[in-house]
Amino acid sequence: MSARIIDGAALSKAILEELRTEVAEMKQRSGKVPGLVTILVGENPASVSYVARKVRTASSLGFHEVQDSRGADITEEELLALIRAYNADPEIHGILVQLPLPRHIDEHRVLLAIDPDKDVDGFHPVNLGRLLIGGEAVTFLPCTPAGIQELLVRSGVELNGAEVVVVGRSNIVGKPLAVMLGQKGAGANATVTLTHTGTKDLAAHCRRADVLIAAAGVPGLIRPDWIKPGAAVIDVGVNRVGFNEKTGRAILAGDVDFAEACKVAGLITPVPGGVGPMTIAMLMKNTVRSAWKHLRGI
Ligand code: NAD
């Protein structure tokens, strides 16, 4: 058996095309476009590169894009004041603070300061609470879990009644994803098992999965004999496993032994080019949604 490879880059491109049309329609109807501010503190190379990609994508969709870069010596109070100013700015519908922040700044306080109705990352406790309730209560879904759900749905994976196993219980991926896929409704309604470092016999859980989602950040954790034949395997892990002198770039690998897993799985995402591009597409989708909500005054 050779797995179908899910092309996250192509799916993300299709979503961005849909959003581009929506932004043009918004501009025609209201004269407004979605406004996104990306706040970068310091010069962490990975953060600089993530922010550059987000800014490029937002600009290509016709957003009002503000990149606000601050030195690593900014105080917590100054950063909080900056966020409050963007909370009050009617041209801004989405506020993104790139993590991690320097050690002297309390990340939790910063995330709490963002207006939940501009929290397009979906990390604010208010939005996580809305996610838990589900249905109409949901405002913004966190981008990586939302990207994974969209990727599964658009690839035709049946989630209704499926056995889903999620490996990893972080607040930004595993936990929200487990809740989302277990909700009643289309593109969900699965029976979800959330596994982690305390799980006894991880292999046995994985072997039961119709949909196996690896988000542990451990290269090669998921062995091919842990995969049920024909299962959909979503590899969220992004692990730097080396450095390519020729390209000057890190060599990336997921949490799944990709080459071997391809022989067993029915469907699989590559790393890179699987979940990563979907995360950015979902950030843009959240910002467009936020702009519509603000324009309609809801
Ligand atoms: P994290 O590092 O905060 O937590 C990892 C989780 O995995 C923990 O809950 C831990 O219990 C579990 N875990 C670790 N080792 C395990 C093991 N041996 N067995 C079982 N469970 C284990 O997680 P995170 O921030 O969600 O990131 C996970 C991975 O996903 C990382 O590689 C990260 O780079 C990647 N990631 C990718 C994207 C994307 O857009 N592609 C977005 C977010 C995170």
The tens digit of pLDDT for each residue in 64-107 reads 999 999 999 999 999 999 999 999 999 999 999 999 999 999 99
Q: What residues pair up with 256 in beta bridges, in sequence order?
A: 222
How much distance in Å is there from the Cα of 180 to the middle of ligand 1?
Answer: 17
How much distance in Å is there from the Cα of 239 to the middle of ligand 1?
Answer: 10
- Is 119 assigned a catalytic role? no
Q: How far apart, in Å, are the Cα atoms of 284 and each of 14, 63, 166, 219? A: 13, 9, 25, 29
How much distance in Å is there from the Cα of 217 to the middle of ligand 1?
Answer: 4
How much distance in Å is there from the Cα of 232 to the middle of ligand 1?
Answer: 19
How much distance in Å is there from the Cα of 168 to the middle of ligand 1?
Answer: 5
Q: Is the pLDDT of residue 249 over 90?
A: no
Q: Which atom of ligand 1 is nearest to the CA of 199?
A: 20
- Is 115 assigned a catalytic role? no
Query: Is the CB of 145 within 6 Å of ligand 1?
Result: no
pLDDT band for position 273 (cuts 50, 70, 90): very high
β-pair type (232-235, 211-214):
parallel
pTM: 0.96
Percentage of the chain lying above the pLDDT 70 cut: 99
pLDDT band for position 1 (cuts 50, 70, 90): low
For all residues of the chain together, what is the average pLDDT? Answer: 97
Q: Could you tell me if residue 213 is left (phi over 0), alpha (psi between -120 and 50 degrees) or otherwise beta?
A: beta
Mean pLDDT of 128-139: 96
- Is 263 assigned a catalytic role? no
Query: Is the CB of 238 within 6 Å of ligand 1?
Result: yes
Which of 98, 118, 183, 228 is labelled catalytic?
A: 98
Which of 54, 175, 228, 285 is labelled catalytic?
A: 54
Q: Where are the beta strands (DSSP E) in the chain?
A: 4-5, 35-41, 64-70, 94-97, 163-167, 191-195, 211-214, 232-235, 239-244, 249-253, 267-268
Contacts of 256 (CB under 8 A, 6+ apart): 214, 220, 221, 222, 233, 235, 237, 268, 271
Q: How confident is the model over 156-192, as pLDDT tens digits?
A: 999 999 999 999 999 999 999 999 999 999 999 999 9
Which of 117, 118, 119, 121 is labelled catalytic?
A: 121
Phi, psi torsion values for 206, nearest 5 degrees: -60, -40
Contacts of 241 (CB under 8 A, 6+ apart): 219, 251, 252, 253
Contacts of 4 (CB under 8 A, 6+ apart): 155, 266, 267, 268
pLDDT of residue 46: 87
Give the CA diameter of the chain.
Answer: 57
Residue with tokens 């470092």: 197
Alpha carbon 150 to chain centroid, angstroms: 11
Query: Which tokens in the block code for residue 91?
Result: 């041209």
Question: Which residue's CA is the closest to the ligand 1 atom numbered 14?
Answer: 216
Query: Is the CB of 168 within 6 Å of ligand 1?
Result: yes
Sequence length of the chain is: 298
pLDDT of residue 267: 98
Q: Is the pLDDT of residue 282 over 80?
A: yes
